[in-house]
Amino acid sequence: MTELSLTKLPPEKSGFATFLAMLWRDKLAFVSAMVLLLIIIAAVAGPTLLGDLATSQNLRGRNSPPFDMSRGWAFVLGGDSLGRPMLARLIVAARSTMMVAAGAVATALVIGATLGLIAGYMGKKTSQVIMRLADVIMSFPSLLLAVVVLYVLGPSIPNMILVLAITRIPIYLRTTRAEVLEVRERMFVQAAVVMGASHWRIIARHILPVVAPTLVTIATLDFAFVMLAESSLSFLGIGIQPPDITWGLMVAQGRPYLTNAWWLALWPGVMIVITTLALNLLSNWMRIALDPAQRWRLEARSTKDE
């Protein structure tokens, strides 16, 4: 069946349109993408729209239970220990949670991939130095790193990004290096070398496009991992510090009220689970969609269904 549809190639559509069509075919991945989009929109636009709703205290609404509309829509998920509406708090926390995770992943990706390209492309000596560096980073306990950075540089969102980025660099470094080592032996790279292409051109035009899909897939998965790591550190009290809030910190702040106001710790946890789950599902799909050798599975399926 798949062989049949392969021979009957669909009319060439623009890359983005095929991509969207492929996403639409996989309902789980599509729903995940929509959920993530919604969270991103809320994180970007939400805090501005809400104004000071998330910080205005209402001592009568202290620990007010969820699903009670008498205090207005903002209290639909209940109120926290100072009577601030949980829904608004969640949206404001979404921004810093996303910002920390995105910042850390982007920083680690850029630094790790650059070092990985150098380590894979240059000679053995440079590679050895870079790889030993990665080993030391990997064995360094991230808890201690967090305390060192927070104590020396002070607690702030950029410093939190720094801590998380440092711990994630080795992942990108190792993956990039391994792929580069394999790709640079392939025929088309050899051909480019013979034709006199510059190092820069070989890396940018021939090697990077092959490595990039793997990196993007790992970054999606890593986004979830970094989010969990940030929330764990914040939970332990060595991450984001109030008045900044993230979902992890909200769980920690809700912990003393477990017996009488369970919703304080429950909702932020649910948000973390939903976001990570969506990221995991999406990266599962991306692993196939972005791999030129496997993409036909999805494309074949979409032509078959039409």
Partner 1 sequence: MGKLIGQRAIASLLSLLGLMVLVFFLSRLTGDPAVLFLPIDASEAMKAQFRALHGLDAPLIEQFGRYVLDLLQFNFGDSLRKARPAIDIVMEAYAWTLPLALITLSLVIVAAIVLGSIAAFNVGGFFDRLVSIVSLIGASAPDFWIAIVAIVVFSINLGWLPTSGVGTPWHWVLPISVLFIRPFGLIVQVVRGSMLSALSSAYVKTARAKGVKNLPIIFVHTLRNAMLPVITVIGDQAAAMLNGAVIVETIFGFPGIGKLMIDSILQRDFNVVLAAIMVTAVAIFIMNILIDIAYGILDPRIRH
- The site for partner 1 (CB under 8 A) is made up of 132, 135-136, 139-141, 143-145, 147-148, 151-152, 224, 228, 231-232, 235-236, 238, 248, 251-252, 255, 258-259, 262, 265-266, 269, 272-273, 276-277, 280-281
**In the complex, what is the shortest distance from the CB of residue 274 to partner 1, in angstroms, rounded to a whole number?**
8
Task: Please state, in angstroms and as integers, the Cα–Cα distance from residue 26 to each residue in 12, 51, 104, 297, 301, following that order.
Answer: 20, 38, 29, 12, 10
Query: Of 165 and 203, which CB lies nearer to partner 1 in the complex structure?
Result: 165
Query: Of 109 and 145, which CB lies nearer to partner 1 in the complex structure?
Result: 145
Query: Of 39 and 207, which CB lies nearer to partner 1 in the complex structure?
Result: 39
**In the complex, what is the shortest distance from the CB of residue 180 to partner 1, in angstroms, rounded to a whole number?**
22
Query: Of 207 and 281, which CB lies nearer to partner 1 in the complex structure?
Result: 281
- Give the closest residue to 98 by CA, choosing from 48, 150, 157, 56: 157
Contact, 180 vs 121, CB < 8 A?
yes
**In the complex, what is the shortest distance from the CB of residue 187 to partner 1, in angstroms, rounded to a whole number?**
27
Query: Of 81 and 276, which CB lies nearer to partner 1 in the complex structure?
Result: 276
**In the complex, what is the shortest distance from the CB of residue 85 to partner 1, in angstroms, rounded to a whole number?**
21
**In the complex, what is the shortest distance from the CB of residue 15 to partner 1, in angstroms, rounded to a whole number?**
29
